[in-house]
Amino acid sequence: MRADRELALAKLVKKQHGVIARDQLLASGLSPSAVDFRLAQHRLWPIHAGVYAFSPAILSPAGRQIAALLAIRPDPLLSHDSSAARQGLMREGARIHVSIATRVPRRLDGVVVHRPRRIDPEDRIRVDGIPMTSLARTYLDLAQTLSYPRLQKVIEEADRTDRLDIRAVQEVIERYAGHRGCRPLRRIVSDYLWTPDSNEGMERDFQVLLADFGLPTPQVNVLVEGLDVDCWWPASRFVVELDSRGWHKTWQAHERDRKRDAILIRAGISSLRITHRRIHKEPVEVAEDVRAGLRLPLLPSGSP
């Protein structure tokens, strides 16, 4: 019986990245005095009140996060910087950020406790078994606490890794109208929104960019390998696709784009996707990308 209990505790501690709470030890069948004995014998190491590590080794980031969640209950979530870090959009900070709707009187070393008015069920997710705020809700919370440039970096990283769901962001802004993060978040994502006439305007803007940087004019809206492509330079076997809706596509649409790219690659054709936002925000970089695709010499640094 004791061996079974110890095995179950070991599995739970492994699942929780090296940490366990006092109530979990008691629920396993240990008595309060047995828990205190283990503490006295240094078989448990206190992290927060009622939360212990099974080893004196430095906890992993996940262990620190779970320890904070165990110390602040009921129903806490990783949020803000910690949720973004856990989902690969920021570096892990020195302090753990936790959100809980109920009021918790205690303060914990190294933990920032946020008390939002509410967090809806659709904004509660689990990543590797750890409860945290959804990406859309995380962006909203960060929009309240980060500087505008730092928030831009987080959104750009989400965009770069195909995790910027504009529809979900718009919905979270609507659900939490009045949240102080709504205005800066709306301002940033407005760069990614699609409008009905954006395709035509984007084609015109791209042609202007090419002329401004002395780049050759492509064939437009032509068939290449059975695909209708936006811009085609046959001598360089290079295609540019103008992606005005890329930021609010479904995953199925993204998959179709990847398949189109693969068809071109198999035919020995290089392709580049350029967004409305990049044409207007990063014209120099876009011009250099096109120049590289056309196999033209790159301009010296600082050249127009």
pLDDT attached to residue 299: 62
- If DSSP codes are grouped into helix, strand and coil, which group holds residue 284? helix
The CATH number fitting domain 198-293, selected from 3.40.960.10, 3.10.20.30, 3.40.50.300, 3.40.190.10: 3.40.960.10
Residue 198 has pLDDT above 70, yes or no: no
Whole-prediction pTM value? 0.67
DSSP-derived letter for residue 88 is T
| Section 180-188 average pLDDT | 94
Residue type, 257: D
Q: Which residue has the tokens 């109920």?
A: 102
pLDDT attached to residue 82: 96
The closest of 51, 41, 82 to 65, measured between CA atoms, is 82
Residue 247 CA to residue 270 CA, distance in Å, equals 22
Residue 155 CA to residue 5 CA, distance in Å, equals 46
Residue 213 has pLDDT above 60, yes or no: yes
By mean pLDDT, which of 141-145, 161-165, 207-211, 228-232 is the weakest?
161-165
78 touches 86 (CB < 8 A): yes
> CB neighbours (10 Å) of residue 282?
14
pLDDT attached to residue 247: 45
Residue 73 has pLDDT above 60, yes or no: yes
Residue 149 CA to residue 126 CA, distance in Å, equals 28
Residue 233 has pLDDT above 90, yes or no: yes
Residue 241 CA to residue 203 CA, distance in Å, equals 10
User: Tell me: the pLDDT tens digits for 85-94?
Assistant: 999 999 888 8
Q: Which residue has the tokens 């004019």?
A: 217
- If DSSP codes are grouped into helix, strand and coil, which group holds residue 239? strand
Measure CA 213 to chain center. 34
User: Tell me: the pLDDT tens digits for 95-114?
Assistant: 999 999 877 666 788 999 99
Whole-angstrom CA distances from 204 to 6, 191, 244 are 69, 18, 12
Domain extents in the chain:
1-59, 73-191, 198-293
| Section 215-244 average pLDDT | 92
DSSP secondary structure string for all residues of 98-129: EE-SS------TTEEEE--S---GGGEEEETT
Over pLDDT 70: what percentage of the chain?
90
Q: Which helix (H) or strand (E) holds 83?
A: helix 80-86
pLDDT attached to residue 303: 54
User: Tell me: the pLDDT tens digits for 158-167?
Assistant: 887 878 888 8
199 touches 242 (CB < 8 A): yes
- Residue count (the chain): 304
